[in-house]
A and B are shown apart, each in its own frame.
Chain A
Amino acid sequence: MSDPVLVHVLRAVDIAVVERLADARFEIVGASPDWLEAAFDAAPAGSRHTLAGALPFLDHFLPVADAAWHDRGAARAESGPFVARVAGDELLLRALAVTLDHRSLLLIERLTGDADTRPILQTAREQVLAMEQLTRQAAGVQAPAAAVARVAAELAAADLGPAHRTIADALAAASAQLQAVAEALPKPPSKGRRFSQ
């Protein structure tokens, strides 16, 4: 990691590289991103200089990483995204534990741009909520529309004079249109198919 170009590349892509040393301490390799420095500064006084103190999620991930470093299972381990509150901002991070050249490394990546899925998920979930709301409103239309269709059918089957027949036919036509629209509105999903497992 002494290659200055590599150090600049890692800084440009906002990846911090931390090495686990033989005495179980951690050492930042190369340049430390500003956000990691800020996370260390913001950590509680008693744990200011520990990685898990700066990024509490890593307290949970480090045993998993340790297994990867010691090749007890997967040769690499990914943390999945986690949020760190740093200087008033919520940073989306992801850690990757790898062993390179017998060195136990932890790559902590700040997810930005396309890698930051928060805006996409926010929009997707807002749309799902809007669809749920529409489905509830649709249910309020579908039941009455079906009831009107039943009444219209009963009326159409009745023995009516010419004047009432005209009214019944008009009602049946309007009801059929209403029924078609109501049927096209969203319906609640089948039970047990709310999301994949």
Chain B
Amino acid sequence: MIQKKICMLGGFAVGKTSLVARYVTSIFSEKYLSTVGVKIDKKQVAVDGQDVTLMLWDIYGQDDFQTVQASQLRGMSGYLLVVDGTRRATLETARLMQQKAMDAAGPVPFILLLNKSDLSAQWELDEQAFFKLVEQGWRVIRTSAKTGEGVEPAFEALTRAMLAAPAAGQ
């Protein structure tokens, strides 16, 4: 069976762990539990008739307290950049993480997730920011770990992109 490593990247408290939990166990918790270190979950999926084992690397959020190491990103086949729509600064962090990911793993597929769509009334990110990213060629999906909106499609789209990409990172 094909195995693919996916990294969850972004600032702290943007919902990386919650997105993985929603995808793997269909569970959401309102309580914020900060991630320290790396947690790995597995999920087996079938995409376009191919069975794939996804190794989901939930990596702690980048901030003043913890810096993501390039060694943790090596070997990944793709990544999800997570932004908290209610905190504009998390987009800046995502841009920095994208550069770090590119340096560590090369041009592997990625998708930017604008998370916390259930709190859209409190969003600091507007449509303009969204369109700028799309113009840059980034794929952007609105998600909510709380409601599940966009979560399955995001992982499925990334898996499909990884399967279509050259074999690096397998």
Is B66 in contact with A57, judged by CB distance below 8 angstroms? no
Is A124 in contact with B65, judged by CB distance below 8 angstroms? yes
Q: Which residues in B have their C-beta under 8 angstroms from that of A25?
A: none
Q: Which residues in A have their C-beta under 8 angstroms from that of B64?
A: 195-196
Tier of interface size on chain A: 20 to 34
Contact of B75 among A60, A85, A197 (CB under 8 A): A60
Is A83 in contact with B36, judged by CB distance below 8 angstroms? yes
Q: Which residues in A have their C-beta under 8 angstroms from that of B117?
A: none
Residue of B whose beta carbon sits closest to that of A83: B39
Within 8 A of A (CB), among B22-52: 32-40, 42
Contact of B38 among A57, A118, A121 (CB under 8 A): A57
In the complex, how many residue pairs between chain A and chain B have their CB atoms under 8 Å apart? 68
Q: Which residues in B have their C-beta under 8 angstroms from that of A124?
A: 65
Contact of B63 among A81, A117, A125 (CB under 8 A): A125
| Interface residues, chain B, with chain A CB atoms under 8 Å away | 12-13, 32-40, 42, 55, 61-67, 69, 71-72, 75, 87, 89, 92-93, 96
| Interface residues, chain A, with chain B CB atoms under 8 Å away | 56-57, 60, 64, 80-83, 85, 90, 92-93, 117-118, 121-122, 124-126, 128-129, 132, 191-192, 194-197
